[in-house]
Chain A
Amino acid sequence: MYQIMVIEDDPVIQEELSVLLRSNGYEIILPKDFFNIISEIRKSPPHLLLLDINLPVQDGFKICSGIRTFSNVPIIFVTSRNTDMDELNSIMLGGDDFITKPYNTSILLARIASLLKRTYASEHAEVLTYQEVILHLENSKIEYHRNSVELTKNELKIMVFLFRNAGKIVPRADLVDYLWDSQLYVDDNALSVNITRIREKLKSIGVKDFIQTKHRQGYLI
């Protein structure tokens, strides 16, 4: 599990950012105080840093250049200042990315994911399994007892979200949110159409009643 250190002086943002990142499968480290951040990172280096610029004691730029003297850990600047000087400074001092508040969480998560992927080549097999149904992410196929069928982009993303939340009821609104975050602009009606198509495809490979509709609640696998 990737460890992300969140360096942010606003307590609400720090806490909520931690909740958000934890729920997306990251481990969060918070600095104990703002005096010894650099030595703390030296002792236990995280996989990625989210760094605010306006901080007490030392500003983000100083921390960044301090870290760069000994580590190449990816650093994303997250700040409310958005002049070009700030962006330029953050790049010059070794920051990997620059996101301005009020950031969009899906963009933030996407940037974190892509930066982690680039830095630490992924070793996870791109396969999800649930009740003997196997979802192949790399070639967009779903397999059951050696029978497989191809899925479209929309269908694949829907299945990914259902697989990740297997055993839980997934509200339709959450599913639509997730699809939009993946840049697939599917509305409520189109979602129903997609689900119907997925059910047909599952039937063709011999899986029945895999996706259940919970009335007024959502879907469940």
Chain B
Amino acid sequence: MRYKEYLKDQLPAIITHVLSMLFCVVFLSAVDVQANIILILLLIWFLIAASYIHIRFFFRKRYFAELLLQLERLDKKYLICEVMEHPILTEDKIYHMLLKAANKSMMEQVSESKRERKEYKEYIEQWIHDVKTPISAMKLLCENNKSDTTRKLMAELEKVSHYTDQALYYARSENVEKDYFIKEVSLSEMIHAAVAENKQLLLQNHISVEVNNCDNTVYTDEKWIGFILNQIIANAVKYSGKEPKIGFEVNSKQGQVVLIIYDNGVGISEPDLPRIFEKGFTGQNGRTGKSSTGIGLFLCKRLCEKLGIGIAVKSESGQGTQVELFFPKGDFVRVQE
């Protein structure tokens, strides 16, 4: 609060005082009061009025400065109503009340939206669980009646179940911390499971698979890593090139285990590379014919961050892509053993 602005606000009071003074002077001169007495009266009047306005400025300034400081210190600013001291002045009280009422109605709105969101999310999860039963039934039907057609159907079903998983993990990715189960898992088992889940997709697209010495174990959540591997395999299939292949390799460096998944597909062009983990980013590959949602890698990155795993992608257009997953070595677990 600046003094000038404050004075501006006090203008009506000042004008009233000046008018009263004028009136007084006129009245007192009319009843023949001596000029110097009128002068003394005016001087005292002026001093009292000025000091009142001045002192009030300092009190108001201190009051608002304290409020602003409180606001600044608050993490959740909308709680200022609850935190601030109850005002004494009537005007301040009214503002306080207004603020409180506005706050309350806003909170109601927010919690309503939160509830709706939660219900929707629960419905999505329930729906996904429900849809998995018919998918399983279809897979079994195909498995029991093998022919070229059912093999193609199975490849499509693998895509469907991949998409439903994507939706499920998207719904859940906000609170991974509530839904994970870290244990020692074998990388080769996870790789073989991921390949098995995409078996027909890989076979139909004539993609050869290489698995090289992946005997390490890591401490992580099997389910989430399974999803990430599925996503990477699905991408490799989608963007495959001539004589396509996909390979898995494990490098054990100091302090971390690196799982490398490489393919010889179309690769990612240089300008696109830094942006592939952005939500909704489809890039050149996505635009040239292949439908892409820009969700898959975004989810991978998000899950990796939540699980404390590093993810990096190296690629050259036309030369293939290499995805690296960095698992920290669980030294603390070994100590406990």
- A contact residues vs B (CB 8 Å cutoff): 10, 12-13, 16-17, 19-20, 23, 80-84, 87-88, 100-107, 173-174, 176-177, 180-181, 183, 185, 187-188, 190
B64 touches A (CB below 8 Å): no
A201 to B206 Cα, complex, angstroms: 28
> Is the beta-carbon distance between B140 and A84 smaller than 8 angstroms?
no
> Is the beta-carbon distance between A106 and B199 smaller than 8 angstroms?
yes
Smallest CB gap from B141: residue in A: A16
> Is the beta-carbon distance between A101 and B132 smaller than 8 angstroms?
yes
> Is the beta-carbon distance between A19 and B144 smaller than 8 angstroms?
yes
Q: Number of B interface residues, CB 8 Å? A: 35
Given the interface pairs A13-B140, A185-B208, the reply to whether A101 lies near B196 with Cβ below 8 Å is no
Residue numbers in A under 8 Å from B193 (CB-CB): 104, 107
A12 to B209 Cα, complex, angstroms: 33
The listed residue with most A CB atoms (<10 A of its CB), out of B133, B134, B203, is B133
Cross-chain pairs A/B with CB under 8 angstroms, 11 sampled = A13-B136, A13-B140, A16-B141, A88-B181, A100-B132, A101-B132, A106-B196, A174-B146, A181-B199, A185-B208, A185-B211
Given the interface pairs A16-B140, A16-B141, the reply to whether A80 lies near B130 with Cβ below 8 Å is yes
CB contact between A102 and one of B130, B135, B148 (< 8 Å): that residue: B135
Smallest CB gap from B188: residue in A: A183
Residues 258-292 of B, flagged 1 when their CB comes within 8 A of A and 0 if not, give 00000000000000000000000000000000000
Tell me the dominant secondary structure on chain A's binding face: helix
A190 to B203 Cα, complex, angstroms: 13
Given the interface pairs A17-B140, A82-B223, the reply to whether A104 lies near B133 with Cβ below 8 Å is no
A19 to B139 Cα, complex, angstroms: 13
> Is the beta-carbon distance between B181 and A185 smaller than 8 angstroms?
no
- Nearest CB on B from A192, distance (A): 14
A174 to B148 Cα, complex, angstroms: 10
> Is the beta-carbon distance between B144 and A80 smaller than 8 angstroms?
no
Smallest CB gap from A80: residue in B: B132
B88 touches A (CB below 8 Å): no
Q: How many A-B residue pairs lie within 8 Å, measured between CB atoms?
A: 90
- Nearest CB on B from A77, distance (A): 14
Residue numbers in A under 8 Å from B144 (CB-CB): 16, 19-20, 23
- Identify which of residues 191-237 in chain B touch chain A, using a CB-to-CB cut-off of 8 Å: 192-193, 195-197, 199, 202-203, 206, 208-211, 223
Residue numbers in A under 8 Å from B197 (CB-CB): 104
A162 to B211 Cα, complex, angstroms: 25
Residue numbers in B under 8 Å from A176 (CB-CB): 203
> Is the beta-carbon distance between B133 and A13 smaller than 8 angstroms?
yes
CB contact between B136 and one of A23, A80, A81, A190 (< 8 Å): that residue: A80
Given the interface pairs A105-B143, A187-B208, the reply to whether A84 lies near B179 with Cβ below 8 Å is yes
B151 touches A (CB below 8 Å): yes
A88 to B134 Cα, complex, angstroms: 25
- Identify which of residues 118-147 in chain B touch chain A, using a CB-to-CB cut-off of 8 Å: 129-130, 132-137, 139-141, 143-144, 146
Residue numbers in B under 8 Å from A177 (CB-CB): 146, 199, 203
Residue numbers in A under 8 Å from B202 (CB-CB): 185
A84 to B137 Cα, complex, angstroms: 24
Smallest CB gap from B209: residue in A: A185
CB contact between A13 and one of B137, B181, B192 (< 8 Å): that residue: B137
Please list the 7 inter-chain residue pairs (A to B) with the smallest Cβ-Cβ separation, ordered nearest first. Answer: A16-B140, A185-B209, A80-B132, A102-B135, A12-B137, A102-B136, A101-B136
A45 to B137 Cα, complex, angstroms: 27
Smallest CB gap from B199: residue in A: A180
B58 touches A (CB below 8 Å): no
> Is the beta-carbon distance between A180 and B203 smaller than 8 angstroms?
yes
- Identify which of residues 62-121 in chain B touch chain A, using a CB-to-CB cut-off of 8 Å: none
Smallest CB gap from A52: residue in B: B133
Given the interface pairs A87-B181, A102-B161, the reply to whether A173 lies near B146 with Cβ below 8 Å is yes
CB contact between A173 and one of B151, B192, B196 (< 8 Å): that residue: B151
B27 touches A (CB below 8 Å): no
> Is the beta-carbon distance between B140 and A20 smaller than 8 angstroms?
yes
> Is the beta-carbon distance between A187 and B161 smaller than 8 angstroms?
no
A105 to B135 Cα, complex, angstroms: 12
A13 to B132 Cα, complex, angstroms: 11
Smallest CB gap from A12: residue in B: B137
